[in-house]
Every structure is written in structure tokens, then in C-alpha cells.
Structure 1
Amino acid sequence: MPSLLPETGAKMADINFHPDDRVMSGIEVVKNGGTMVLALLIFEGMLYVMYMEGEVIMSLLCGIPLGLIMIAIACQCVMHFLGLGTMVINEGSMILRTPRSGKKRGKSFLDPLLERVILSPMTRLIMRDMDKDGDGRLSFKEFLDEMDDVSKSEYLEMQELFEKHDKDHDGYLTPSELKEFIKESGDDNWAEKKEGNWWSDDGN
């Protein structure tokens, strides 16, 4: 009996796969996606309890981003089964690949909302947590102190990003510089940055 779950979503030839991608089966998408959504629902429930007990600010700061992440995961799984993309595993993370994956995107009308709801609060929380001397800026040492078991390549990559966003070259990141650092560290425009057509039509 044929499976009711499509194995690869969108046509493989249309998708820009990263060399480290492993295409997920339909069963894997349901299992992994469902587990992640369930875990986020549990956290949302805990945050709702905090909200009801009067912890309004913290519950909203954490609850809204988690809710958006949960919706995004669910939407990506649906897109996989509608044939609008293909879910893959890359470095342990579940990611939806589409024909636009890895390519530079134009600005979305949602960008200002996402920046205000997620990026700005995240920047403030990171700055507050890492800024040990409380001077309102972040040194590279303070940044590294929060990271465990950093490899040499990761160290050099982070140092390069840090120096790039240290616009005044004073050895510190201001909150606005840190925000840009966070945005670029999560950038996934790898197809624009690599030379040659290094992905293949069959995802290998």
C-alpha cells in the first residue's frame, strides 16, 4: 500500500540543497515536528501560568517568540506536505528548503514586526546577561565567556563577525551593533556566498 506521506515535498530539482542536508522522510517530519510543537506548547503553558501569577513582562517576552516559533515550525511542516518545500536535517536542525533557500531575499513586510517582537527583546536580554561590568556595551571577552568548547574555526568566525560589526573599532559592541551581529550570525544566504553550483538536483 503506498504511503500517504510524501517523502520529499517539493520537486528535488527545484530546490537548492546545502551539501550537508539530509532529506527527511514524511514520518520523520511528523515525528520531529510534532515533538517540537508539543514541547513548545508545554513551555507556553508554563509561561501562561506565570502570566496568570503576575509575571507579565517575562512571560510575554518569552511566550510571544516561542509562539511564533511554534507557528513557524507547524507552517513549515504543512508546506512540506503541500509540496512547497522539503524538510531536511542539517547539523542536527530541522530546516525547510525551498527553491529560494540560500539565496538573498528582499525585505518582507513582516521584518519590522519580527525585529520589534523578537530581535530587539533578544538583544536586550543578551546584552543584560553578557555585559558583566554593566557598562552598556559588550567586549569580545565577555561574549566568549558565555560560550563553551569553542573550536578554533568558530572562534575565528565569531571574532571576524565581532570586528565587522564593531563599527567604531573600539573593541566593544553597542546594543545596536549587537543587534546587527545577531542578525548576521543567523544569516542563511549561503547560496549567494559560495562560488559555483555546489548543490545537486538529487540533494546529494
Structure 2
Amino acid sequence: MSDFSTIEGVAAPLPIANLDTDQIMPKQFLLGIDKSGLAQGVLYDLRFAPDGSKRADFVLNTPEYADTRILVGGANFGCGSSREHAVWGLMQSGIAAVLAPSFGEIFFYNAINNRLLPIILTAEQIDEISADVAQPATRRLTIDVVEQVVRTATGRSYPFHIEARHKRMYLEGLDVLGASLSLLPDIEAFEARHWAANPWARVLPGANT
């Protein structure tokens, strides 16, 4: 298994507030019935002009940010519809983490469930990091997931909070179902105690109701 305790790589500033999932993954790329082939649709209308040509001034189209692994986004990143394809597409395009002052709630939990790391920092901290990574010479970030800190190439450090359950899910590669099943012995023990204390409430298979 790959080591997910640290994410290190090029970070791109994307200071767009309310960047919604329709913009992250436009509807015309939702034709398949599986998760494959979505990278080409990520931020399509920002990356390409109506005639299909690349927008040379868009950060992810520049050579310095071609291998971006981390996005530094604006407030309410991933708001809008609940399409999980937005998370899948970002991951397929090489994005491993998104830093923002806030996230759309459904996007946030879709990200956690799929091992895309969403990190919340203050607006002031995001502005500082964006200014650093906007310079090609200092465009790399290191995210220590275990220690819960973001480090910039300029020497700044930004501690971040992540719920213990979400941290475990990310580090161990668990989705919600996997996290629940990992507690199966505790669940079964609780069930046994419950039925022992309340046998009158249990309806056995085949019993008349």
C-alpha cells in the first residue's frame, strides 16, 4: 500500500469562491456508468475556450503547474450539486488534496469517502499560501497528515484540524462502509447485550408477526 501519511508536490492557486461541482465536472462528462475517463472534464470551461483551445492564462495550463497535486481554493469550494464525479475527476487528474477556507458539505464528505484530502484553513492562511504557491519558485507544498500540518517552500507551517475518524479513514483507505465494518466486533457485542437485556423485543426469523 502506498504511504498516504504525507502529500508533497506542486500546489496551484485557484482563488475562486463558490467554485461548484458543475464547474469542477461539467454535465457533458457524466455520460459513463463508472468512474473512469473523468480527468478530461475537470474544470473544463476554465481550462478551455469555447472553440476547444486551451486558455493560456489558466494556471493549470501553464508548464509550471502541469503536475499539480494540491489545489489552494476559495471559500465554499465544491458547493452546488452532489455529483461525486467532481471528486473522482480531480483525483484522476492527479489532485490529492484541496486547501480552502470552507467546502460545500456534500463535496467535503464525498472527498473524505474517496481519499481526496480536504483541508480547512482560515481565509488569511489560504491567502498567504496562495501568494507563496503563485510564485513558481515556491509552488510546492508538503502536507503531513499524521502531524496535521501544511508546510510551504518559504518555511511557513500551518496546523490544521481533521476529525479523528476522518483521519483514520484517509490514512487506512476506508470509506464509510469500511469504517463501519472495522467496528463489527463492537457492533456484534452491543447487539448481543441489547438482545440479552431485551429478549421480548426481538422478532426471530419465521416468527408470526
Measured against the shorter chain, the TM-score band is: under 0.3
Q: TM-score, normalised by structure 1?
A: 0.23
- Return the structure number with greater strand share: 2
- Return the structure number with greater helix share: 1
Which structure exhibits the higher relative contact order, with contacts defined as CA atoms closer than 8 Å and separated by 6 or more residues?
Answer: 1
Larger radius of gyration: 2
